[in-house]
Amino acid sequence: MRYNTILAWFTLFILVVSCGTKSTKEKEQEGKDVGQDEVTVKLVKGILIIGDEVSSFRACNDSLDYWVEDETNQLDSLYYKEVEYDLETYIPVYAELVVIDRGEGAGGYAEAYESIYEVKEVRVLRRWNEESDCQ
Output the pLDDT for position 44. Answer: 96
The count of C-alpha atoms lying within 13 angstroms of the C-alpha of 1, restricted to the half-sphere facing its C-beta, is 4
Q: According to the model, what pLDDT value does residue 123 have?
A: 95
51 vs 31 pLDDT, higher one = 51
- Give the residue, 106 or 135, on which the prediction is more confident: 135
Strand partners, 68: 117
Report residue 28's pLDDT band, with 50, 70 and 90 as the boundaries: very low
pTM higher than 0.85: no
114-130 pLDDT per residue, tens: 899 999 999 999 988 88
Q: Domains of the chain: which residue ranges?
A: 2-127
- pLDDT single digits (tens) 84-111: 876 667 899 999 999 999 887 667 777 8
